[in-house]
Amino acid sequence: MSRKYLIRITELERLLSEQAEALRQRDLQLSLVEETEAFLRSALARAEEKIEEEEREIEYLRAQIEKLRRMLFGTRSEKLQREVEQAEAQLKQREQESDRYSGREDDPQVPRQLRQSRHRRPLPAHLPREIHRLEPEESCCPECGSELDYLGEVHVVQAFFQC
């Protein structure tokens, strides 16, 4: 064979070996990517299981708090109040853990709308007022003769409004 063909053959062999090495490198990278993907999928499955477990725990704690509140409604026991507070604290902790696992930790808190109070505004000062005092007929007790004590007063306002 001629020298020209030998050079060409060695050049082709070199190119072939370079391509084979590049192919081996890509196969190695592909296997690493597949291993990483499998690891991430298993980690995701574990995290989802953890989130579901935490959400079940949260629901259980909410039900327990609701039960304790119903028990507390009838009687005001300090022990029940402490149990409710402990359950609420545990619920808040579980919700924070669940938020951390689910990525909702950085969500902004939406403030609750405040209810307007239903306090009655005072009547205008220019309205006429009538005062009726009901004094007892006697200042002494008819049975024992002791002086009667002042018990208090009642303020009643009857107002009629027209629109």
The pLDDT-based confidence of 21 (bands split at 50, 70, 90) is: very high
pLDDT of residue 34: 95
Give pLDDT tens digits for 135-149.
777 878 888 888 887
Give pLDDT tens digits for 35-61.
999 999 999 999 999 999 999 999 998
Residues 6+ apart with CB under 8 A from 157: 123
* Strands (DSSP E) found in 9-157: none
Q: Tell me: pLDDT of 64 over 80.
A: yes
pTM: 0.36
Better-predicted residue by pLDDT, 150 or 54: 54
d(CA 99, CA 55): 10
Q: Read off the tokens for 53.
A: 């477990």
Query: Percent of the chain, pLDDT > 70?
Result: 82
Q: Tell me: pLDDT of 75 over 60.
A: no
pLDDT of residue 86: 83
Radius of gyration of the chain from its Cα atoms, rounded to whole angstroms: 42
Helical H runs in 75-134? 78-102
pLDDT of residue 142: 81
Give pLDDT tens digits for 77-107.
566 677 778 888 888 888 888 777 776 665 5
